[in-house]
Amino acid sequence: MTEPTPTKIDMDKLVSLCQRRGFIFPSSEIYGGLSSCWDYGPLGVELKRNIKQAWWQAVVQQRDDMAGLDASILMHPQIWAASGHLEGFSDPLVECKNCHLRWRADELKGNTCPSCGGELTEPRQFNLMFKTFMGPVEEEASVVYLRPETAQGMFVNFLNVLDTTRKKLPFGIAQIGKSFRNEITTGNFIFRSREFEQMEIEFFVKPGTDKEWFDYWLDERLNWYVKLGIKKDNLKLRQHMKKELAHYALDCYDIEYLFPMGWSELEGIANRGDFDLTQHAKYSGKNMDYFDEETKEHFIPYIIEPSAGVDRSALAFLCDAYAEEPDKEEIRVLLHLHPTLAPYKAAVLPLSRRENLVAAARKVHADLRQCWMVSYDDAQSIGRRYRRQDEIGTPFCITIDFQSLEDEQVTIRDRDSMNQIRVPIDTLKTTLAAKLSGEELFVLPPGGKIWLEEKKG
Ligand code: GAP
């Protein structure tokens, strides 16, 4: 099978759209920015919230075998000794003897500095954890770390969750939260940064059933992206080679996405065996066994870990949604975001700023925003306003025109097809709900007058 050619999306165009329209800004911009740190603007924060909400719904809300958690970012330093992060969470670092830029040795193509061609130092291991001090005294005894993954919070709360939820194996714990890594090389926009968010699942299973659950989660997670609109051809699974496997993993696959810079990891799914609970039992002195009441056996569960990045998911959803389409003499830029992820579900647009139109539109807006994030825009021509909403991925525009004042009906314009239908205002909420949940344009509540406009735009 031939692999699809890399996507044509230009990262620079996406970065520019994100900044121009308020999705993502460089952090601390007025001070010149802070390398590899990003701020999510008014639209970015909605996109991110929607991604997290969709994930939580799929893996916690809609399942019996999962429980949520929100563990502290700062944790007991011994956790990082037990997990292997203190000793092994490092990358090989080399420094240019001439310009002093630092590089990851394993990512370099040659053995000279990519910036100035200078000679490089021998690689040394550089620990990626951010270190700080707890309390007022900066001494070795008060060192704590910003967590480099959310996972450990779930391992160390295994017994708490088990006791309080009375769950039986197999079951999982899910968590969304910030993680920090002092990456040597960052870049590709929000793909790799030093502060990022993860959505992680630790799924505890009986040893011997782990392979089956591993396959199950590969499938589940891959489908989650597809259901939310990512094209199948832009996703693939890649198994880690033996030498690539992390110290804790028996097996691992990456879900890769065809980002503008090529195929890269979007999510990792690992079979962590009994490594984590065994280590924490050893370091904490607590018995981390599970007692199976049916078979009367005691054992340490195996763990299947689907670990996704919120920021990387946001980047993949944005890349996949970005499109430029010819439209008359112009190019229409749009984000085909899935309605679940779109920052605004709809925009209310009065045809003009005439007082009576604005009043009617404001009323519709006030009503709809009880249920969804809905934008209101009355500046410039209706065509320009449609384009503005297309560019930020708003699936539906609701236009209030002079006819609306007489017949109490409004027009709904579909972002992707640009088709329009006309519906009574009193069925607008149910129509929009149906359309947002993916129902066909033609399935309308009784009484809704439907017409498809020939003219687009
Ligand atoms: N607990 C396992 C773990 O953390 P990982 O492969 O190191 O595994 C999981 O990270 C996911 O977290 C990655 O697939 C990616 O989506 C995200 N991630 C990791 N490092 C990141 C970084 N520096 N910037 C943005 N996202 C990152």
Binding site membership of 149 for ligand 1 (Cβ less than 6 Å)? yes
Strand partners, 409: 424
Q: Is 196 in the pocket of ligand 1 (CB under 6 A)?
A: yes
- Shortest-distance atom of ligand 1 to CA 265: 14
What is the Cα–Cα distance from 349 to 345, expressed in whole angstroms? 13
Those residues with Cβ within 8 angstroms of residue 324's Cβ, 6 or more apart along the chain or in another chain: 331, 332, 333, 334
Helices (H), 22-157: 42-56, 78-83, 85-88, 151-156
Q: Which amino acid is at 167?
A: K
Phi, psi values for residue 276, rounded to 5°: -70, -50
pLDDT at 139: 86
If we measure between CA atoms, which residue out of 161, 172, 155, 176 comes closest to residue 210?
A: 172
User: Is any ligand 1 atom within 6 A of the Cβ of residue 256?
Assistant: no
Q: Determine the distance separating the centroid of ligand 1 and the alpha carbon of 369, expressed in angstroms.
A: 35
Residues β-bridged to residue 346 = 374, 396
Q: What stretch of H or E contains 17?
A: helix 11-21
Q: Is the CB of 308 under 6 A from ligand 1?
A: yes
User: Hey, what are 143's tokens?
Assistant: 């060192």
Q: pLDDT tens track of the chain, all 457 residues? A: 444 444 468 999 999 999 999 999 999 999 999 988 999 999 999 999 999 999 999 999 999 999 999 999 999 999 999 999 998 887 888 888 888 888 888 888 888 988 899 998 888 888 889 999 999 888 888 999 999 999 999 999 999 999 999 899 999 999 999 999 998 877 799 999 999 999 999 999 999 999 999 999 999 999 999 999 999 999 999 999 999 998 999 999 999 999 999 999 999 999 999 999 999 999 999 999 999 999 999 999 999 999 999 999 999 999 999 999 988 888 999 999 999 999 999 999 999 999 999 999 999 999 999 999 999 999 999 999 999 999 999 999 999 999 999 999 999 999 998 989 899 999 999 999 988 987 655 444 444 444 444 444 4
- The pLDDT value recorded for residue 187 is 79
Confirm if 52 and 60 have CB atoms less than 8 A apart. no
State the residue for tokens 């879900």. Answer: 255
Q: What sign has the CA pseudo-torsion 328, 334, 338, 343?
A: negative
Give the Cα separation of 214 and 431 in Å (integer).
40
User: Helices 428-436 and 355-368, interaxial angle, to 10°?
Assistant: 50
DSSP bridge pairs for 239: 253
pTM above 0.85, yes or no: yes
The H or E element spanning position 224 is: helix 210-227
- Describe the crossing of helices 310-321 and 11-21 by its angle, rounded to 10 degrees: 100
Establish whether residue 48 lines the binding site of ligand 1, counting it when its CB lies within 6 angstroms of any ligand atom.
Answer: no
Distance, CA 355 to ligand 1 centroid (Å)?
A: 52
Q: Which atom of ligand 1 is nearest to the CA of 254?
A: 14
Report how far residue 392's alpha carbon sits from residue 190's, in angstroms, rounded to the nearest whole number: 18
Task: Answer yes or no: is the C-beta of 276 below 6 A from any ligand 1 atom.
Answer: no
pLDDT at residue 101, rounded to an integer: 86
Check pocket membership of 181 for ligand 1, CB cut-off 6 A. yes
Question: Both ends of the chain: CA-CA distance in Å?
Answer: 40
At 257 the three-state DSSP class reads strand
Which residue spans within 146-206 are E strands per DSSP? 171-180, 195-205
Q: Is 193 in the pocket of ligand 1 (CB under 6 A)?
A: yes
For residue 193, the CA-to-ligand 1 centroid distance in Å is 10
Alpha helices in 132-199 (DSSP H): 151-156, 158-165
DSSP string for 322-369: EEEEEETTEEEEEE---TTT-S-SEEEEESS--HHHHHHHHHHHHHHT
Q: Are strands 302-309 and 195-205 parallel, antiparallel or unpaired?
A: antiparallel
Q: Give the pLDDT of residue 89.
A: 80
pLDDT attached to residue 2 = 45
**Which of 50, 77, 71 lies closest to 140, judged by CA?**
77
Distance (Å) from CA 107 to ligand 1 centroid: 17
Q: Give the DSSP H or E segment for 388.
A: helix 382-391
- Å from CA of 380 to ligand 1 middle: 43
307 Cβ below 6 A of ligand 1: yes
Ligand 1, residue 197: give the atom nearest the CA.
Answer: 26
147 lines ligand 1 (CB under 6 A): no
Q: For residue 326, is the peptide bond before it cis, meaning its omega torsion is within 30 degrees of 0?
A: no
Which pLDDT score is estimated for 124? 84
State the DSSP code for 429: H
Pairing of strands 290-292, 420-424: unpaired
